[in-house]
Chain A
Amino acid sequence: MELREAFVSELCGRPVELLTGTKRSRIGRVDDIAVAGSESFPPVVGMYVKGTDGVVRYAPFSSIVSITDYAVTLGAPPLEGSSAPVAIDELLLQKELLDKQIVDVDGRKVVRVNDVKLAPAGDHLRVIAADVGLPGLLRRLGLRYLGDRLLDRVPAPGVRSALISWDAVQPLHLEGPGEALRLRVPQDKIDRIHPADLASIIEELAAADQASLIGSLDEETAADALEQLPVDTQLSILEDLNPDRAADIIENMTPDDAADLLGEIDTDKQQEILELMEPAEAQDVRELLAHPEETAGGLMTTEYLWLPPGLTVAQAFEHIRAAAEDAELVYYIYVLDPQERILGVVSLRELIKAQPETQVADIAIDDVVTVDLETPREEVATTIARYDFVAVPVVDAEGRMQGIVTVDDVIDVLLPEKMRKMLPRVGKSRSKARLPKQ
């Protein structure tokens, strides 16, 4: 089989010939190219050929004799629609990929496909790259020469480099109005992206795609990404998810972020979701929801590490090992009495430094700085800043520990005004102060 590199935009529309014996006859043009499979560089499995009679037929890859710059030659006539095998995960390059948006996993952003590059590898013709740059655009306009010359020059900063390797590409595909997004390629590509970057990618998508993308991720990744989004976007996505799925994702969020989000929706839906969540998680969130958002009670998380009194360092580690999975912060461990009053706090560093037989009580600090449930956010922030804490414990009127406020939850208060504007507004439903994205 004679194969060579090709761009999808040039391949589509190319004449198709049928080779019978030694005779070649023109039977139509390439209408679309189908790839399938979950490999990083999926192979072409067939081509759709629009015959001279206007009917579109399917030519499996095995029937292709050669692909040259001038024509595609088939060894057998293409099959009628009804008998053509269509793989479940088949992707049509022209119809479903060209001009659509995809996620550039390495660049961590959403880009638009100007063209797709195919190259021979082994016995197959494979998709190897997406062309998202200016040269690709020019090629589509028939100005290929100009595009190639442009490639020779050093790309200006900010103008995208032309080709993205396909193993770093995550296609997005909308089935139809209001339908769910289907990720054509294995999700583990998306999982490589840091939740904060995933969040900025999600923000660049249209509203309908946002919910679909979140919905198709596994719960933990979805929760991580959702936590990073501004409240407006979170709410919009939440509205589009069914309550079961919403509950699954929310219970994987940290209780304080979950409470912030649930606090913004109306009580009926809120209760519905809380009831669908794991009871333990739901309980944590309910406790937090009882407090106003802008106070320590509303900001705190209940997932902290604590120890009963009288343990040795070795016993402490046993205790921590079991609880570390769910804790939001492992750096400070609080020593509590049976009534949950704080006896002391010990840092992970101290525990590691100490000998296993040492009593925790000997290395813990017993003069613990705390804030109250009603302490306003700014004061919590200044407390954290003043003592260079990573987190500060929150106590109720009786001095019982209720939770901790971690520095990331108040960091935006500490930043100068200018920088603060750039952060996603977690906790307040303020719309962004700029013109609509056109």
Chain B
Amino acid sequence: MWRSLLLFLSIVGPGMITANIDNDAGGIATYSLAGSQFSYAFLWLLIPVTVALIVIQEMCIRLGVITGKGLADLIREQFGVRITVFVMISLLITNLFTTVAEFAGVAASADVLHNAFPWVIFTRFAMVVAAAIFVSLLVLRGNYKSVEKVFLLACLVYVTYIISGLLAKPDWADVAHQTFVPSFAWSSAYLAMFIGVIGTTIAPWMQFYIQSSVVEKGVKPRELRYSQADVVVGSLITDIVAYFIIVACGATLFVHHIVVSDAGQAALALEPLAGKYAGLLFAVGLLNAGLFAASVLPLSTSYSVCEAFGFASGVDKRFGEAPIFYGLYLGIILFGALPVLTPGAPLLAIIFWSQVVSGMLLPVVVISMLRLINNRDLMGEHVNSPFFNLVAWVTAIGLIIVTALYLVVTLFHIGS
């Protein structure tokens, strides 16, 4: 039994790390907005979303472990150039927008910090530029692994949401009711939030990242169940945090009818726990979230694209040896940071809408994965079970339907 535990701990990593990066700036912002605008109305959604997250991530690791190849690699090999181009463009769009969100998170935390400590370093401009440089150096100098542990440790900050949620004394009857009884609204705002919550929890780039992680780790088919456990635990953790962010915001912000338009207001959700330090706590969490994801996301994107099209890649190569790889990476960082630097940029809105875009483009990745994982030539006996197929298809199609609904409702101004 101990041997199993030890083996589990050595395999653990991809699922846990991905889960923590999942609560990035986009996540925190989206869940905060969900709680503050809709109270506990989205709590029920987290349950099916968690199931979907587990299923989809498990599919990714299964694909990676059995074939030994990354997702971009498989898509290229099985579907050819045209589809690969389509998928990669979708990925680039959502990843670029999400990178903007991460830098926006850094900027938003800067705002809050600046309020408390009006120093030059805490201006938006300084923080974002510093973040961009820090992240680039971290990755290009190869010190990522050591700093990764710091990031992971700092994720413990999210526990504060759990405590805050409890301390805020929400109406637990209401919370329980909303958790287990689904509700739905036809308003444009609701639908957008619906897509956003799903898009931020099941981010497209995470699928590429987690598959590559297990491939890199060299997980063998007989060790698959440890990776599966890793994914389940990671997904549960991430969604429990999401749950409590919504509860905390619902109990504090919604109840007091505080319309959240910037990070300072979102931070108030932590008041029950941290009192006047709520702002600082929130800012630290948001900063960590933004930096963590910004270290991983642009690099993951560059690797995926280069893998798909056969361009040279790898941080162990010089710039001249892998120009497209480095160009893409620096480009994503640059175009991720620039929009945030425009004065007066509505940070929270930017972050939120980037997650909505993720949600809209998620079906592209999920459907690609479904085609791959049901291919018997590729997966042998490890093809999807009917249940998994059902969950994945429902997720993809559900998202497509809600996206269509959203567009219709918004364009024709139906409802409120």
B143 touches A433 (CB 8 A): yes
B220 touches A438 (CB 8 A): no
Tell me the dominant secondary structure on chain B's binding face. Answer: helix
Cα separation A111 to B379 with both chains bound (whole Å): 24
Report the minimum CB–CB distance from A94 to chain B (whole Å): 9
A3 neighbours in B (Cβ, 8 Å): none
Report the minimum CB–CB distance from B368 to chain A (whole Å): 14
Stretch at the interface among A43-51, A155-163, A399-407: A155-163
Stretch at the interface among A85-93, A202-210, A348-356: A202-210
A132 neighbours in B (Cβ, 8 Å): 310
Selected contact of A158 from candidates B144, B312, B382, CB within 8 Å: B312
Closest A residue to B143 by beta carbon equals: A433
Report the minimum CB–CB distance from A153 to chain B (whole Å): 15
Given that A114-B310, A177-B66, A207-B68 are contacting pairs, would A434 and B304 also be in contact in the complex, using a CB cutoff of 8 Å? Answer: no
Report the minimum CB–CB distance from A79 to chain B (whole Å): 24
B67 neighbours in A (Cβ, 8 Å): 177, 206, 208
B382 touches A177 (CB 8 A): yes
17 A-B pairs (CB sep. < 8 Å): A98-B80, A99-B81, A112-B310, A140-B81, A157-B323, A158-B322, A160-B310, A160-B312, A177-B66, A177-B380, A178-B66, A434-B139, A434-B315, A437-B212, A438-B72, A438-B302, A438-B307
Q: Which of A394-423 contact B (CB under 8 A)?
A: 421-422
Report the minimum CB–CB distance from B85 to chain A (whole Å): 6
Cα separation A41 to B195 with both chains bound (whole Å): 53
Closest B residue to A239 by beta carbon equals: B220
Cα separation A137 to B308 with both chains bound (whole Å): 11
B380 touches A114 (CB 8 A): no
Selected contact of B144 from candidates A178, A209, A433, CB within 8 Å: A433
A178 touches B81 (CB 8 A): no
B301 neighbours in A (Cβ, 8 Å): 438
Report the minimum CB–CB distance from B278 to chain A (whole Å): 34
| A280 is an interface residue with CB less than 8 A from chain B | no
Residue from the set A99, A176, A236, A438 with the largest chain B CB neighbour count within 10 Å: A438
Selected contact of B77 from candidates A100, A239, A433, CB within 8 Å: A100
A137 touches B215 (CB 8 A): no
Closest B residue to A210 by beta carbon equals: B68
A178 neighbours in B (Cβ, 8 Å): 66, 221, 380
Cα separation A177 to B143 with both chains bound (whole Å): 35
Report the minimum CB–CB distance from B369 to chain A (whole Å): 16
Report the minimum CB–CB distance from B228 to chain A (whole Å): 17
B81 touches A434 (CB 8 A): no
As a 0/1 sequence over residues 302 to 335 of chain B, the CB contacts with chain A under 8 angstroms (1 = contact) are 1110010111111110001111100000000000
Report the minimum CB–CB distance from B147 to chain A (whole Å): 11
Interface size of A by Cβ–Cβ distance < 8 Å?
Answer: 34
| A141 is an interface residue with CB less than 8 A from chain B | yes
Report the minimum CB–CB distance from B204 to chain A (whole Å): 13
B78 neighbours in A (Cβ, 8 Å): 99
| A232 is an interface residue with CB less than 8 A from chain B | yes
Residue from the set A157, A208, A239 with the largest chain B CB neighbour count within 10 Å: A208
Cα separation A431 to B216 with both chains bound (whole Å): 10
Instruction: Using A158-B321, A421-B142, A437-B216 as known contacts, list a sample of 12 further A-B pairs with CB atoms less than 8 Å apart, ordered by residue number in A.
Output: A99-B78, A100-B77, A157-B320, A158-B320, A208-B67, A209-B68, A433-B142, A434-B139, A435-B296, A435-B300, A438-B70, A438-B208
| B213 is an interface residue with CB less than 8 A from chain A | yes
B300 neighbours in A (Cβ, 8 Å): 435, 438
| A436 is an interface residue with CB less than 8 A from chain B | yes
Cα separation A421 to B142 with both chains bound (whole Å): 10
Cα separation A100 to B74 with both chains bound (whole Å): 9
Cα separation A417 to B80 with both chains bound (whole Å): 43
Report the minimum CB–CB distance from A363 to chain B (whole Å): 47
Closest B residue to A111 by beta carbon equals: B310
A208 touches B68 (CB 8 A): yes
| B239 is an interface residue with CB less than 8 A from chain A | no
Cα separation A438 to B144 with both chains bound (whole Å): 15
Given that A137-B309, A438-B299 are contacting pairs, would A112 and B76 also be in contact in the complex, using a CB cutoff of 8 Å? Answer: yes
A206 touches B80 (CB 8 A): no
A207 neighbours in B (Cβ, 8 Å): 68, 215, 218
As a 0/1 sequence over residues 142 to 156 of chain A, the CB contacts with chain B under 8 angstroms (1 = contact) are 000000000000001
Report the minimum CB–CB distance from A85 to chain B (whole Å): 23
Report the minimum CB–CB distance from B301 to chain A (whole Å): 8
Cα separation A421 to B302 with both chains bound (whole Å): 23
Cα separation A140 to B80 with both chains bound (whole Å): 9
